Amino acid sequence: MKKKLISAAAVIFWIAVWQIAALAVGKSLLLASPVEVIQRLATLVQEQQFWQSILYSTSRIMLGFIFGMTTGVIFAVLAGKFVFFEKLFAPLIAAVKAVPVASFTILALIWVTSAQLSVLITFLIAVPIAYSNIFEGIKALDGKLTVMADIFRVPASRRFVGIYLSQIMPYFRSSAKLAVGMCWKSGVAAEVIGIPKGSIGRELYNSKVYLETADLFAWTLMIIILSIITEKLFLLIVDLIVRRIEKL
């Protein structure tokens, strides 16, 4: 409770700093105040287009995230099991990690339509995050537990859930937590470059073109809220699975 109060106080402090800075600047074109942003957001939520844009971007970013996490997990399992795959994936993962989102986005626009762009970009962001974390988890698996399971002749299904999955899930959880935020950032950045019709990225782009700073801030705030909601939702599902595993 005390921790939550401290966190809330920290948020209020920074909002106050923002408000003071906006008042000091005195031009909402340069820096919209928190009050203006909230007012603009309150107007936007009444528009159908606002919710359509949210649905459009969220569905694509989450699709890329889920595909990316799944692929990352599969790659990590293969690499953890076979050195051949570890060596094979190493340069690919290193390259995907190092290449800037903007380069990928421009390149991807040649291959896919702008509507599919955020799916591809978030997929590319999620894969190395999931891969690196899960691979690390696999490498950290306690081999002595496998020997214990051999001695007690623990069946394969129970062994998989109780020994392997229970040890890997914390790594999966931390990778998912990191990847959700990164996917939102990169997915929206890709949309700003590709400007697909009906996306949050296009709204951000328009707010820049028409110098609607309050809109820019309102959409940014919405992206943060969406990122937090999707992260909490996904982690809730993961935690439910973890609790189920804990109780075997």
Partner 1 sequence: MPLKAENITKCFGETTVLEDFSHEFADGAVTVIMGASGCGKSTLLAVLMGIMPPDSGTVTGNDTRLSAVFQEDRLCENLTVLSNIRLVLGKKAGREMLISELAEVGLEGCAEKPVRELSGGMKRRTALLRALLAEYDVLFLDEPFKGLDEDTKRTVMEYTKRMTEGKTVILVTHDREEAEFFGGELIELQKNA
Q: Residue from 87, 150, 236, 240 that binds partner 1 (CB under 8 A)? A: 150
Binding of residue 148 to partner 1 (CB under 8 A):
yes
Instruction: Tell me the two tokens of residue 132.
Output: 């690196």
Q: Which string of DSSP letters, residue by residue, matches 133-162?
A: HHHHHHHT--HHHHHHHHHTT--HHHHIII
CA distance 188 to 62: 12
Instruction: Tell me the two tokens of residue 216.
Output: 């820019």
- What string marks each residue from 166 to 195 as x (binds partner 1 by CB under 8 A) or -? xx-xx-------------------------
111 vs 152, beta carbon nearer partner 1: 152
Binding of residue 141 to partner 1 (CB under 8 A):
no
Binding of residue 154 to partner 1 (CB under 8 A):
yes
Looking at residue 118, its amino acid is S
We find the least distance from the C-beta atom of residue 179 to partner 1, in angstroms, to be 21
1 DSSP assignment: -
Contact of 220 with 188, CB cutoff 8 Å: no
We find the least distance from the C-beta atom of residue 16 to partner 1, in angstroms, to be 40
- Nearest CA to 123 out of 136, 138, 110, 104 is that of 104
Binding of residue 247 to partner 1 (CB under 8 A):
yes
Binding of residue 45 to partner 1 (CB under 8 A):
no
172 vs 219, beta carbon nearer partner 1: 172
Contact of 169 with 238, CB cutoff 8 Å: yes
Q: Which residues bind partner 1 (CB under 8 A)?
A: 142, 144-145, 147-155, 158-159, 162-163, 166-167, 169-170, 242, 245-248
